[in-house]
Amino acid sequence: MPPVKHYSSSEVNQYELSTRLLSLTENTSYTLTQINGQRIYRKATHAWTGPEPSRSCEVFIGRIPHDCFEDSLVPLFQQAGELFEFRLMINFSGWNRGYAFAMYTTEAEAGNAIRLFNNYMIRPSWQLGVCPSINNCRIFISRIPPTTPSAEIVRLLYALTDEVQEVRIRRAVASCAAIVEYRSHRGAAMARKALVAAAAAAWGCGARPAVDWSLPQSPQLLKQYREIGRWSPERGVELTRVPEDSPGASPCNASYTLEPWSQARRLRMIQEAQRNAAAVEWSNRMSSGLEYLSASMGSLSVGGLQERVWAPPPAAPRAPSGPPPCPPPGPPARPLVPTRDDFNPWTAPHPMYEFIHGKEAR
């Protein structure tokens, strides 16, 4: 594998980069042009005869470092086969947007590129992602004001975007959505960018329509959109409605499914809300348990605890001088033994004191 050139954000020289990019086209049959946020490295017209390769010959390249350009990527992907076109997405600052498309001359070469460069370590701890390219030409628009006539929706979409083929509309009691089909993926991408900025102003009335990619292949879901609209300068807006009792028609009660990343984002939001609710419930249980414990401790009798505190016994009266008095008749008195309540381990004699000292005396 050839070494991949690395430009840090503080060392990139645009003049040097332009020189490196121009060297790709010297003594080759390729041209390099930049248009609409993408730089296209493509075979020259005189170097290719016949139809262009099909969409199945194109691969999608993701997770590209933002300071990695064609002078590193094109030689790398040419090892899998002959490139017909390499498109790198560029933003306004000149850095790439992290993904590109490589079209080979045959399907076998495209499969070879996926096998060689999917999870390829282009830099330490930085792997590329390579997979077949999906030609998604549909845009999904939701939250359209339900009072907007279908003819007005079709007219606005044809006026705001280019390359529109047809508009499919689905209506419910309080909602309206549409799927717009374009001639190419590029047309759909440009239309999505334009609709995000202009759809809210176009519909007005405080509308906040949501614009996103739709699933590229969804024939069952498309049957839910029964109104099909087209526009032409000669005929204007033409609306046709698919009858509900047509073969294979499905009930119009399910919403259109967005891209998988949108589903994952919604799933993460639901899981986060569930975790927050569980944390609140746990804190409520802990606070109620502490309140019960403090109430139980407050009900204890402090006076009863003080009565059990040991106190030294009162001093015995001094014995009078003279012979001891005779003990009264009767059974011998039991020796005084400290009770449990008046026992003090710090002043009480050792239990074996008398035995030890009596033995020494003997």
Tell me the pLDDT tens digit for each residue of 304-356. Answer: 444 444 556 666 666 566 666 665 665 555 555 545 555 566 666 666 666 66
**Most confident listed range (112-116, 141-145, 201-205, 245-249):** 112-116
Q: Which pLDDT score is estimated for 282?
A: 74
Q: 182: which 2 tokens?
A: 């374009």
Q: What is the mean pLDDT of residues 96-104?
A: 91
Does residue 116 register a pLDDT over 90? yes
b/e string for 259-289 if b means 16 or more Cβ within 10 A? eeeeeeeeeeeeeeeeeeeeeeeeeeeeeee
Query: pTM of the prediction?
Result: 0.47
Domains parsed from the chain with CATH numbers: 14-132 (3.30.70.330), 138-260 (3.30.70.330)
Question: With bands split at pLDDT 50, 70 and 90, how would you rate the model's confidence at 225?
Answer: confident
DSSP code at position 179: E
Confidence band of 73 (pLDDT split at 50, 70, 90)? very high
Which pLDDT score is estimated for 59?
A: 92
Residues 143 and 207: beta-carbon distance below 8 Å: yes
Q: Is the pLDDT of residue 160 over 50?
A: yes
Question: Which among 286, 265, 170, 174 is positioned nearest to 222, based on CA atoms?
Answer: 170
- Phi/psi at 214 (nearest 5 deg)? -100, 170
For 196-206, what is each residue's pLDDT tens digit?
A: 877 777 776 66
Q: Name, in order, each residue with C-beta under 8 angstroms of 7's C-beta and a sequence gap of 6 or more.
A: 17, 67, 68, 69
Q: Quick check: helix, strand or coil at residue 213?
A: strand
Average pLDDT over residues 80-102: 89
What pLDDT is recorded for position 303?
A: 45
Mean pLDDT, the chain, whole residue set: 75
Flag whether pLDDT at 300 surpasses 80.
no
Q: Is 80 exceeded by the pLDDT of residue 247? A: no
Which two three-digit tokens encode residue 321? 């001088």
Quote the pLDDT of residue 349. Answer: 67
Give the pLDDT mean for 284-298.
Answer: 65
The answer to whether the beta carbons of residues 59 and 101 sit under 8 Å apart is yes
Structure tokens at 300: 């204890």
Choice between 64 and 269, residue whose per-residue pLDDT is larger = 64
- Identify whether the C-beta of residue 183 lies closer than 8 Å to the C-beta of residue 163: yes
* Residue found under tokens 């086969």: 81
Torsion sign (Cα): 178, 182, 184, 188? negative
Stretch 177-194: mean pLDDT? 88
Quick one: tokens of 342?
């008046």
3-state secondary structure of 132: strand
Query: Would you say residue 113 has pLDDT above 90?
Result: yes
231-258 average pLDDT score: 63
Average pLDDT of 44-52?
86
